[in-house]
A and B are shown apart, each in its own frame.
Chain A
């Protein structure tokens, strides 16, 4: 952690005091799940006055993956001889009451991977095994997924395919503004912005007149980000800031963008608990159709499964905080999660449960 720059801390504390004096309610949305975790981890919530709320947005990839996609993955593994790789959090998300973890315990070959490359390498080494990578993600994971698919394409691999649930963040923020939300400022995802560029979120301030800041994940970066956006709110001068310039460029990472546009095409996507958001999903282009596990194994499309009782959708839209969900901490805990927000290490419910309000 190290020490925090004393001037920054002073500025932050002064702004928090000023905000407290003024008394207006300020709702800040941190869109990204990693920010949710980092804000708790650094105890930053405990430093905010009561009239400043941090609300988590739809920025956790596992949380916004529809339950039906998980059920599809389980269908695939039960009805076909495949070895499946996926990210750790996916293992615990329930789909119609079951999880990939449970299938693994029954003996189905399901492996946890930190990167899709592991699955590709396994497929190359084991040409007789059908390997499927089940990946959820945003613009951050899309380049890695795209690169692996390009490599499989170039190497003409026949035993590798993917189930993807890849979404893009800016359309979700447009969608937020179509809802009745009261967000006074945005803390924008640093990693996503590093790929698509700070420019991709300028519309928040330009079109909707709401202050916003792209920021990093250390305590210092977060304190700076919050200071900039709160200052902007108090002054009633909607500003747009890139407080993560060492990593985030105005136009982003062109190489990564090229991979994304080469492999994926944009389409409407279903967000768990939220619904359909136009042009918010990335899907494999026709050229790469042979790597689409759903087509390869003839999986049927499933209707979206609406989670029962849990308020995932409202939580991810910033309408309510996790403790307001009737299931929170009772029927839904990290040991036995109902919704993905409680499963994923980036989920706002899991963060609330793990780190508490302090």
Chain B
């Protein structure tokens, strides 16, 4: 049978076979081929960003992506929003006994493709196999190193009153796609799973960004609440300007969820001085991942730490930090 057994994780012949036939075959590069316990890396500058993330998404393959792509793009995006150019990734796999090897192969191929697209190298890795019933087929951890070339680093502490808030497209697509899959809801739900490094580079090269973050788990609501607290500012959002697909709104209505709290895997929130906002918006729209970009709100002095939403007829409400229990294991 073509499936993962405990022996694949035992460090013996089968482990070596897995490494040769899958990991080296698809992910190989000069660092990985060295085959040592760690990779010796040369970095072009002394300022690096180091980030890690684990991926336990269910289902593993979903419209618009799979756990492999997510594992690469997730860490690449975390590095990119810190203003870094992503260079190297580690890949930690926890496999459950019984996982079909063709499925693993498909995921590894997907990882290889995502690495190629983003220009990162997978330089070290690890595989463990747990007994049947002790995992959910596959868990992936990626850690990444990126280097900073820009003269400044956008951080969550730097949003200033008067700044405009932009997002590069429709929100909630990933969360909606995963939920629709799980609940067997048919409809046009596709994850936005995508690498943001290219788009972010385009923005950072040209504009003085104060704050940048990818609103993944917890969605826009969590991201902006974090920023409002870190920067000690208020954040005003304009409901009519926030791009959300009608089918995502409908799904949220049906399941009683908040679209602002749904996960995204290809979205970036950019906060920068008002004077350049329109120009940044136009620049974003020239990129394939920014065609539905929008200016969605403004940073205010008050009320500190609070995110609130205004609608077209003057109604206001607070957007709170989501509890996050509705949507477990989304990325």
Q: Does B285 contact A (CB under 8 A)?
A: no
* Interface residues in chain A, defined as those with a beta carbon under 8 Å from any beta carbon in chain B: 1-4, 9, 40-47, 88, 92, 114, 219, 223, 334-335, 345-346, 353-356, 358
Question: Interface residue tally of chain B, by bracket?
Answer: 20 to 34
Give complex CA distance A28, B232 in Å: 37
Find the A residue at minimum CB distance from B183.
A114
Find the A residue at minimum CB distance from B185.
A114
> Would B315 and A219 count as touching, CB distance under 8 A?
yes
> Would A356 and B312 count as touching, CB distance under 8 A?
no
Q: Does B36 contact A (CB under 8 A)?
A: no
> Would B317 and A1 count as touching, CB distance under 8 A?
no
Give complex CA distance A4, B311 in Å: 10
Interface residues of B in 184-230 (CB under 8 A from A): none
> Would B256 and A345 count as touching, CB distance under 8 A?
yes
> Would B316 and A43 count as touching, CB distance under 8 A?
yes
Q: Is the interface of B mostly helix, strand, loop or mixed?
A: loop
Complex interface: chain A residues within 8 A of B312 (CB): 1-4
Q: Does B318 contact A (CB under 8 A)?
A: yes
Q: Does B310 contact A (CB under 8 A)?
A: yes
A-B contact pairs, 12 of them (CB 8 A): A3-B240, A9-B313, A43-B310, A43-B311, A43-B315, A43-B317, A44-B315, A88-B326, A114-B255, A219-B315, A355-B317, A358-B316
Find the A residue at minimum CB distance from B322.
A354
> Would B311 and A1 count as touching, CB distance under 8 A?
yes
> Would B318 and A219 count as touching, CB distance under 8 A?
no
Known: A1-B239, A41-B317, A42-B315. A358 touches B183 (CB 8 A): no
* A1 partner, pick from B240, B255, B318, beta carbons under 8 A: B240
Distance of B237 from chain A, by nearest CB (Å) = 11
> Would B311 and A92 count as touching, CB distance under 8 A?
no
Give complex CA distance A223, B316 in Å: 14
Give complex CA distance A354, B309 in Å: 13
* A354 partner, pick from B308, B310, B314, B320, beta carbons under 8 A: B320
Q: Does B325 contact A (CB under 8 A)?
A: yes
Complex interface: chain B residues within 8 A of A334 (CB): 323
> Would A47 and B318 count as touching, CB distance under 8 A?
no
Give complex CA distance A345, B311 in Å: 22
Find the A residue at minimum CB distance from B325.
A92
Give complex CA distance A223, B315 in Å: 11
> Would B320 and A355 count as touching, CB distance under 8 A?
yes
Known: A114-B255, A334-B323, A345-B256. A356 touches B318 (CB 8 A): yes
Give complex CA distance A41, B316 in Å: 8
Complex interface: chain A residues within 8 A of B318 (CB): 354-356, 358
Complex interface: chain A residues within 8 A of B316 (CB): 43, 46, 358
Give complex CA distance A43, B310 in Å: 8
* A358 partner, pick from B256, B317, B325, B326, beta carbons under 8 A: B317
> Would B317 and A4 count as touching, CB distance under 8 A?
no
Give complex CA distance A353, B322 in Å: 11
> Would B313 and A219 count as touching, CB distance under 8 A?
yes
Complex interface: chain A residues within 8 A of B308 (CB): 358
* B313 partner, pick from A47, A335, A356, beta carbons under 8 A: A47
Give complex CA distance A223, B311 in Å: 13
Given contact pairs A345-B256, A358-B318, a sample of 9 additional A-B residue pairs in the complex whose CB atoms are under 8 Å apart: A3-B312, A40-B317, A42-B311, A43-B311, A43-B315, A43-B316, A46-B317, A335-B323, A356-B320
